[in-house]
Chain A
Amino acid sequence: MNDLANHGASRTSATSRFPAHPIVGFAGTSFKHEHLPAILAEGKLEGFFEVHAENYMGAGGPPHDALTRIRRDHPVSLHGVCMSIGGPQPIDKTHLKRFKALVDRYEPALVSEHLAWSTHDTTFFNDLLPLPYTPATLARVADHIDEVQAAIGRPILLENPSTYVVFPESTMCETGFIREIARRTGCGLLLDVSNVFVSATNHGYSPLAYLAAFPLDQVGEIHLAGHARQTDDEGDLLLIDSHDCPVADAVWKLYDLVIGRCGPRPTLIEWDSEIPDWPVLRAEAAAAQTILDRHADAVAQERIRASH
């Protein structure tokens, strides 16, 4: 297993403010403030919580209080949404400083960002926007990831995007682009299986072919989320990465296949809109945990057989 991409537990050091918690082999959920009382009432849970870094970039107040309470009992995954790594503009130094401060403060088990851009000039678009895949964009994305990793002093996981358009100027396929980024920067990968399914449907390729070409050994985390259905200009199905409903059956099947191939990896149920009551979200994570546990057992049996 790639040590850069898969930390065994929450990071700790001699000056740690929080205990280490294991994250390998566990499922987790997005952390939403409205769930805090229900989560605290259940006491310590097995599993992890993921937060969007930008929501904790205020100076103080309830967000930091809530995240501190969550972090005390659980591993936390810090998921950056706005670093705009995929754009040609230089990384926003102020934003990077805020990001580093969160990494230092909460000692997250996982740190991730997106292969996308969200800011152009001074306008922040609040969406994960796509980029062409060329040697020139590759060089720039690699530089940006080098800069982020140098600033925070540890590797990040880079997430594959869900996309709706293609760029005719692209000269590389997405999996080739991502593989080369990981090779050049030493970053790990966050494989969003839902994004694979959404993009494959939208662009008319096989999700299995995409996964076969994806460097699964670099995967340090997996995302699963619900999607919505629309149609494109030709009236064909266009899937929208909406994060507002349960994970689809087809995505669960792909996920099962991925875990069968690369072994248990920390797996997050993302749910960011139309947020359900805590038990619904917890049940989605339990479904992922069941798949993780089944494959963990299979790996263990394999080892026992091999040792006899």
Chain B
Amino acid sequence: MRPIEPGWPGGSGPDSSFPEMFARALLDPDRETPPVVAGPHGKAAAKRYNVYRNNVTVSLINALAAIFPATQRITGIEFFRAMARFHVRATPPGSPLLFEYGRDFPDFIERYEHAQSLPWMSDVARIERAWLDAYHASDAEPLTPQAFGSIPPEHLGDTVLLPHPATRIVRSRYPAVTIFSANRGSDPVGQIEAADPEDALVTRPKLEVAVRQLPSGGAVFLTHLMSGEPLGAAASAAMADSSTFDLPANIAGVLAAGAFSDFKFGG
């Protein structure tokens, strides 16, 4: 048992141990009902304590299902809930803010033995996690094409773009954006023909979260820009990554997506 911290007021009282005893079995169905609890009037407590076990496990599985709806649609509800149950028991939330939960879930899916035939699924889950980050991110006005157009041409190479708080990039070796988009809504999912790798740009310039597929070299370009490198250096990195990288089209694309909020000169 974990020692009681002496710093807690009244830490030596008998009550200090009740959450330790109560909590230990909540996520472990193999443990006995904790002896600190009972039923009333000498009744048994097993099914009663299981109400709490069930509340905890089911509500956390529901939280994952709400964060990863496309992933659940791909696997089917039964498969998803079994997978999520393993994850909830191994990695329960460490914060009372449930919209922060599930950050380790895509990696868990990648390792999950029953999901090995769906190697792209962890990337779909990564897009869903990024979607929720964008949804809750700070509000900020996006940098408009007009404001960007006011930058004198001689300064463009040295211009550093400041990322909008909602902007996220998810890279994938699979057609993750196509699969995400097909499964995120409730429309019927047709035959998915895509097979090439797809990188996702997730933004929320106003209230709507948008997920776009980045063009070739776009993810490298954006990753460099978001790390604070000037436009010239980011463009060079993107051209080194992709021989078909189209700088004007990429700049227009990221501005239209609302991926940045401001700019400054001098990298």
* Binary contact track A100-144/B, C-beta < 8 Å → 1, others 0: 000000000000000001111111111101111010110110010
Residue contact B60 to A126, C-beta cutoff 8 Å: yes
Q: Are B37 and A167 in contact (CB under 8 A)?
A: yes
Q: Is A19 an interface residue (CB 8 A)?
A: no
Determine whether the beta carbon of A124 is less than 8 Å from that of B94.
yes
Contact B43 A129 (CB under 8 A): no
Q: If A82-B96, A131-B15, A169-B18 touch, does A125 touch B23 (CB 8 Å cutoff)? A: yes
When the two chains form the complex, which single residue of A95, A136, A143, A204 contacts B96, counting CB atoms closer than 8 Å? A95
Interface assignment of A54: CB less than 8 Å from any CB of chain B? yes
> B31 on the interface (CB 8 Å rule)?
no
Q: Which residues of B contact A120 (CB under 8 A)?
A: 19-20, 22-23
Cβ-defined contact, A233 with B8, below 8 A: no
Q: Which of B8, B52, B92 gathers most chain A CB within 10 Å?
A: B52
Q: Is the CB of A232 within 8 A of B44?
A: yes
A139 surroundings in chain B (CB, below 8 A) = 9-10
A13 within 8 A of B: no
The answer to the question of B16 belonging to the interface, with a C-beta cut-off of 8 Å to chain A, is: yes
Give the interface residue-count category, chain B: 35 or more
* A252 interface contact, C-beta 8 A: no
Q: Would you call A14 an interface residue if the criterion is a C-beta within 8 Å of the partner chain's C-beta atoms?
A: no
Q: Give residues in A with beta carbon < 8 Å to B.
A: 54-55, 57-65, 81-82, 84, 87-90, 92, 95, 117-127, 129-132, 134, 136-137, 139-140, 143, 164-169, 202-204, 230-234, 236, 238, 240
28 pairs, CB–CB < 8 Å, chain A vs chain B? A55-B99, A59-B165, A60-B136, A60-B139, A61-B137, A84-B96, A88-B11, A89-B8, A92-B96, A120-B22, A120-B23, A126-B60, A126-B63, A126-B98, A129-B23, A136-B14, A136-B15, A137-B15, A140-B9, A140-B10, A140-B15, A164-B51, A166-B38, A169-B18, A204-B41, A231-B47, A232-B44, A238-B48
New contact pairs (6) apart from A60-B165, A95-B96, CB-CB < 8 Å: A60-B136, A61-B139, A88-B8, A126-B63, A233-B46, A236-B43
